[in-house]
C-alpha cells in the first residue's frame, strides 16, 4: 500500500468508526454531475460500484447526472442503463423528429421541409427558445419510469433521489423531491438555448448546471455521511478542443457562471472520480460506449478506496433491501385530464389521441397516440403522466400549443432549377375556427407559388372543404434526340382546384375536386424559326373532375428506411380548349400540339413505392408508375420525363438517366429499383436502375422531336447523398440508352 492510500483510508475509516460506536451504518451518498454526453461515463462508474458491492443510500444529480442517477434510483442496474443508452437512436432522440407516418396527410408536404420555423405573434417574429424541444426525451423518460408512476415522494423510490434544476425567472435553485419523475429529469437537463425550458406552475425551469452542476450539498442535506462524487463537468476553463459543435458552445456558455460553485463542492467529496473525457464533448452521444468505458476506467483507478469502503460498510451491517416496484405493463384508464388546451378543442385532442376512459393501454398505444397528436402540428410539445386513481390510472396530458401563425423558410439549389429561397406562412384557426391556410412561395429563377386553404367540417378534422391554387413560371427545355438542348420555352402554369378531402387516419387521404388548369408557352431561346413566323404564345385550358387516393406510411420525408407510398388518380376532362395568340397564318405550326382530339376524355394514373430495410446499412426501394388516357392529349397535358428523385412536380416523372423534362410521354409504364447503402451515419450512396415503356401510337408531332413516341427507355445512375442540417445534399451521375454522354446532377436543400 502506498502512503497516500493509507492516509485516504484513515480519513474514510474514522467517521465510520464513530458511527459504528453509535450503532449506525453510515449513509453513502452518490453525486453525479452534469456534462451532456460526457455524463454517460456515470454508467461505467456504477458498474464498478456494483462490482465492489456498494449501493448508495442517496443519489443526487444535475442534467445528465440527474437522468442516469434518477434511472438508477428507480431500479435500473448499470448493465441495463448501458443497454438502454447504447441502443438509443440519438439522432432521432435529439431531433424531436416524429415519424412521417404519424403526420396527418395535409401536413406531410410541409413537414421537415424548412430550415427555420418562427412564430408570428403581435410583437413580430419569435424564434424558438431552444434548438431542441425535448419531446422525444420526455416520452422516453415517461416510459422508463412507468413502474414508479404511483410514487409521489422521491424518498420512496428504491433509492431516495433528488434532481436539481434552476428557475430562469428568479435565478434560484430548484430541488425536485416529489412530483413527476420525467418532468424533474427533463427540467434538470434544459441547457439554455439548446433545450426548451420546462414550464411548471409559476416556474420556468432550465438546466440545474447553471447554478449547481455538482450538487454535493444537496446530498449532504439528505443525510449522507460519506460522499462518492463523479465529476464529468468542467470546473475550470473549457479546452478549445471541446467546443466542436454549436451545442457544446452553448452548453459551455450556460455553465460559465457555475465554475466557482463547482470548485467549492469538490472538497466536500470523500471519494472523487473524474474520468478523462478530453476527447469528447457534451454532444458526443454517438460515442456512448467509449465514454462509458472511460467512466469504468476512472473508477477502477480508485478501486482500492471503493473496495475498502465496501468492506467497512458490510462489517457495520447489511444495507436496506432494494425493493423495485413491478412494472404493471398495462393500465386501465379511469380518467383523462388535459392541461394547456386553448385554441384546440378537447374533442379534437381526444380524437387524435384515440384513447378513451375505460381503455386498457400500454406505453406503445400511449406513445402512438401522442405521436399522432404531435403529427397534427398543433403542438410544440406534449407530455404525459400516469397516476393511480380509484379504479385505474389517471392519464394527465400537458400540452404546449404551437403558435397559430408560423413563418418558415429554407434555401435550395440544383443545377437544373438553380438557387431559390423557399418561404411559407401557415395559419391555423385564425380566419375561421377549424381552418388551415398554407402559402408557399419559391423565390428563384423558376418562381412557384402554392396556396392551400382547408376548412374542416366537425371538430375531428377528418373531412373538410379544400381550395388549392398553384402557379409556376419555368424554363421548359426542348431536347434533340441525342440529348442536346435545341432551345427552350417560358412555361406559365396556373392550377385552381376546389373540392372535399377526407383523412380518416394519418395514412390515407381521399379527395374529390373540380380543377381548372391553364398551361401557356412562349419563346425564350432557340425557337426563332417557330416564333419569328408570327406566334406569340400558345397552350391549353383544361377543366376536369378528379378523384384521388393517397397512401403514405414512410417513416421519413427524405431518405426513408421503411414504409410505402401510393397514389392513384382518375381524371375526367369536362372541357379542353386550345389557346393561341399570334398571326392566323402561323396557327397551323402549333395546332397539332394544342388542339385536343376530343374535349371529353379520361386519364388514369398511379404510382407505388416501397422501402425495405435489408439490414442496418442496406435499404432497397422498388417503384412502379403508370399512366393511361383514352384520347391523344395536347402537349401541355402530357407528362414530362427525367430528373433525379425528390424532383417531383405536376406532370413530371422522375427518371434517372435523363435531365428534367427531357422526354414527352402520354401512356407509359415505369419501373425503378433503388439500392441505398449507408456507410456513415448520414452519408449514403444509392444506385438506381429504371426502365420505361411508352405507348403513344400516332400522336401529334411538334417540331419533329418534341412528341410522344413509342419508346423503350433504360437508365441508370449513382448518387452520393448526405442528410445534412440544410436538407438533402445530392451529387449524381447518370446515363440512358436515349443519349450520349453522362448527366450530372447537384442538389442542395429542400426542393419545392
Centre a 10 Å sphere on the Cβ of residue 153 and count the other Cβ atoms it contains.
10
The closest alpha carbon to 728, from 513, 458, 414, belongs to 414
Residue 683: helix, strand or coil by DSSP? strand
- Strands in 186-266 per DSSP E: 193-195, 198-200, 203-207, 226-230
- CB neighbour list of residue 741: distance below 8 Å, 6 or more residues apart: 483, 735
Cell numbers representing residue 692 in the block:
420505361
- CB neighbour list of residue 497: distance below 8 Å, 6 or more residues apart: 466, 467, 468, 513, 514, 515, 516, 546
Distance CA 463, CA 459 (A): 10
Q: H-helix or E-strand containing 471?
A: strand 463-479
Running DSSP on this structure, what letter comes out for residue 325? P
Residue with cell 412530483: 179
Residue 524: helix, strand or coil by DSSP? strand
Return the half-sphere exposure (C-beta side, CA atoms, 13 A cut-off) of residue 218.
Answer: 30
Residue 171: helix, strand or coil by DSSP? coil
| φ, ψ (nearest 5 deg) of residue 378 | -85, -5
Radius of gyration of the chain (CA): 32
Do 305 and 46 touch, CB atoms closer than 8 A? no
Running DSSP on this structure, what letter comes out for residue 27? P
Long-range contacts of 562-565 (CB under 8 A, 24+ apart): 562/611, 562/612, 562/613, 563/100, 563/101, 563/610, 563/611, 564/608, 564/609, 564/610, 564/611, 565/607, 565/608, 565/609
Do 688 and 716 touch, CB atoms closer than 8 A? yes
Catalytic member of 207, 225, 270, 639: 207
HEC letters along 388-447: ECCCCEEEEEEEEECCCEEEEEEEEEECCCCCEEEEEEEEECCCCCCEEEEEEEEEECCC
Distance CA 215, CA 546 (A): 65
The closest alpha carbon to 445, from 111, 752, 116, 110, belongs to 752
Cell numbers representing residue 622 in the block:
422498388
Distance CA 626, CA 653 (A): 10
Cell numbers representing residue 409 in the block:
423558410
Q: H-helix or E-strand containing 30?
A: strand 28-32
Catalytic member of 33, 57, 63, 444: 63
| φ, ψ (nearest 5 deg) of residue 262 | -60, -45
Q: H-helix or E-strand containing 272?
A: strand 271-273
Do 335 and 314 touch, CB atoms closer than 8 A? no
Known active-site residue 63: yes
Distance CA 12, CA 271 (A): 9
Return the half-sphere exposure (C-beta side, CA atoms, 13 A cut-off) of residue 407.
Answer: 8
Q: Residues of 648-657 as b/e, b for ≥16 C-beta within 10 angstroms?
A: ebeeebbbbb
Distance CA 215, CA 229 (A): 9
Strands of 652-653's sheet in order across: 652-653, 639-641, 663-665
Report the catalytic residues: 63, 207
Amino acid at each position: 500500500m502506498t502512503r497516500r492510500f493509507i492516509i485516504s483510508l484513515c480519513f474514510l475509516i474514522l467517521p465510520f468508526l464513530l458511527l459504528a460506536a453509535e450503532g449506525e451504518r453510515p449513509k453513502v451518498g452518490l453525486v453525479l454531475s452534469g456534462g451532456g454526453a460526457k455524463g454517460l461515463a456515470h454508467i461505467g462508474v456504477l458498474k464498478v460500484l456494483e462490482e465492489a458491492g456498494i449501493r448508495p443510500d442517496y443519489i443526487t444529480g444535475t442534467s445528465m447526472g440527474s437522468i442516469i442517477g434518477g434511472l438508477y434510483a428507480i431500479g435500473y442496474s448499470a448493465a441495463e442503463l448501458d443497454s438502454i443508452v447504447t441502443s438509443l437512436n440519438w439522432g432521432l432522440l435529439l431531433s424531436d423528429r416524429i415519424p412521417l407516418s404519424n403526420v396527418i396527410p395535409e401536413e406531410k408536404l410541409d413537414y421537415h421541409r424548412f430550415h427555420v420555423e418562427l412564430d408570428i405573434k403581435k410583437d413580430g417574429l419569435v424564434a424558438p427558445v431552444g434548438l431542441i424541444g425535448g419531446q422525444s426525451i420526455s416520452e422516453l423518460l415517461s416510459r422508463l419510469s412507468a413502474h414508479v408512476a404511483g410514487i409521489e415522494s422521491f424518498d420512496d423510490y428504491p433509492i431516495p433521489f433528488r434532481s436539481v434544476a434552476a428557475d430562469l425567472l428568479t435565478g434560484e435553485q430548484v430541488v425536485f423531491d416529489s412530483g413527476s419523475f420525467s418532468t424533474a429529469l427533463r427540467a434538470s437537463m434544459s441547457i439554455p438555448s439548446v433545450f426548451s425550458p420546462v414550464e411548471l406552475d409559476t416556474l420556468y425551469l432550465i438546466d440545474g448546471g447553471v447554478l449547481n452542476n455538482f450538487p454535493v450539498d444537496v446530498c449532504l442535506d439528505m443525510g449522507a455521511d460519506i460522499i462518492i462524487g463523479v465529476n464529468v463537468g468542467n470546473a475550470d476553463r473549457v479546452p478549445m478542443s471541446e467546443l466542436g459543435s454549436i451545442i457544446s458552445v452553448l452548453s459551455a456558455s450556460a455553465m460559465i457562471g457555475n465554475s466557482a460553485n463547482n470548485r467549492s463542492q469538490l472538497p466536500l467529496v470523500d471519494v472523487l472520480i473524474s474520468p478523462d473525457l478530453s476527447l469528447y464533448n457534451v454532444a458526443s452521444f454517438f460515442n456512448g460506449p467509449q465514454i462509458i468505458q472511460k467512466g469504468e476506467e476512472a473508477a477502477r483507478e480508485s478501486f482500492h478506496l471503493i473496495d475498502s469502503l465496501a468492506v467497512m460498510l458490510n462489517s457495520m451491517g447489511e444495507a436496506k433491501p432494494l425493493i423495485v416496484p413491478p412494472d404493471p405493463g398495462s393500465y386501465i384508464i379511469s380518467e383523462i385530464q388535459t392541461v394547456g388546451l386553448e385554441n384546440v378543442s378537447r374533442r379534437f385532442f381526444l380524437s387524435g389521441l384515440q384513447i378513451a376512459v375505460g381503455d386498457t393501454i400500454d406505453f406503445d398505444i400511449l406513445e402512438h397516440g401522442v405521436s399522432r397528436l404531435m403529427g397534427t402540428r398543433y403542438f410544440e410539445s406534449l407530455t404525459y403522466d400516469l397516476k393511480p386513481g380509484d379504479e385505474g390510472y389517471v392519464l394527465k396530458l400537458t400540452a404546449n400549443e404551437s403558435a397559430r401563425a408560423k413563418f418558415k423558410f429554407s434555401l435550395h439549389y440544383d443545377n437544373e432549377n438553380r438557387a431559390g429561397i423557399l418561404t411559407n406562412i401557415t395559419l391555423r384557426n385564425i380566419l375561421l375556427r377549424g381552418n388551415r391556410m398554407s402559402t408557399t412561395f419559391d423565390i428563384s429563377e423558376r418562381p412557384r407559388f402554392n396556396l392551400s386553404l382547408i376548412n374542416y367540417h366537425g371538430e375531428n378534422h377528418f373531412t373538410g372543404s379544400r381550395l388549392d391554387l398553384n402557379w409556376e413560371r419555368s424554363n421548359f427545355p426542348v431536347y434533340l434526340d441525342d440529348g442536346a438542348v435545341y432551345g427552350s420555352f417560358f412555361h406559365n402554369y396556373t392550377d385552381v382546384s376546389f373540392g372535399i378531402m377526407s383523412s380518416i387516419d394519418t395514412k390515407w387521404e381521399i379527395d374529390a375536386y373540380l380543377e381548372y388548369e391553364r398551361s401557356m408557352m412562349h419563346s425564350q431561346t432557340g425557337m426563332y424559326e417557330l416564333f419569328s413566323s408570327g406566334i406569340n404564345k400558345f397552350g391549353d385550358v383544361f377543366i376536369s373532375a378528379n378523384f384521388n387516393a393517397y397512401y403514405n406510411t414512410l417513416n421519413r420525408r427524405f431518405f426513408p428506411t421503411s414504409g410505402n407510398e401510393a397514389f392513384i388518380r382518375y381524371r375526367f376532362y369536362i372541357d379542353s380548349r386550345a389557346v393561341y395568340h399570334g398571326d392566323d397564318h402561323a396557327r397551323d405550326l402549333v395546332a397539332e400540339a394544342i388542339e385536343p382530339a376530343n374535349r371529353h376524355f379520361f386519364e388514369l394514373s398511379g404510382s407505388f413505392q416501397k422501402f425495405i430495410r435489408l439490414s442496418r446499412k442496406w435499404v432497397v426501394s422498388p417503384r412502379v408508375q403508370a399512366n393511361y388516357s383514352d384520347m391523344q392529349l395536347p402537349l401541355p397535358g402530357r407528362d414530362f420525363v427525367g430528373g433525379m428523385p425528390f424532383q417531383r412536380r405536376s406532370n413530371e416523372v422522375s427518371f434517372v438517366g435523363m435531365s428534367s423534362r427531357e422526354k414527352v410521354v402520354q401512356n407509359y409504364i415505369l419501373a425503378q429499383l433503388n439500392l441505398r447503402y449507408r456507410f456513415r451515419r448520414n452519408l449514403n450512396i444509392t444506385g438506381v436502375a429504371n426502365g420505361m415503356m411508352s405507348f403513344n401510337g400516332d400522336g401529334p408531332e411538334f417540331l419533329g422531336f418534341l412528341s410522344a413516341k413509342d419508346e423503350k427507355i433504360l437508365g441508370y445512375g449513382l448518387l452520393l447523398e448526405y442528410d445534412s442540417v440544410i436538407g438533402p445534399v445530392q451529387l449524381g451521375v447518370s446515363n440512358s440508352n436515349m443519349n450520349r454522354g453522362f448527366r450530372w446532377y447537384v442538389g442542395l436543400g429542400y426542393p419545392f
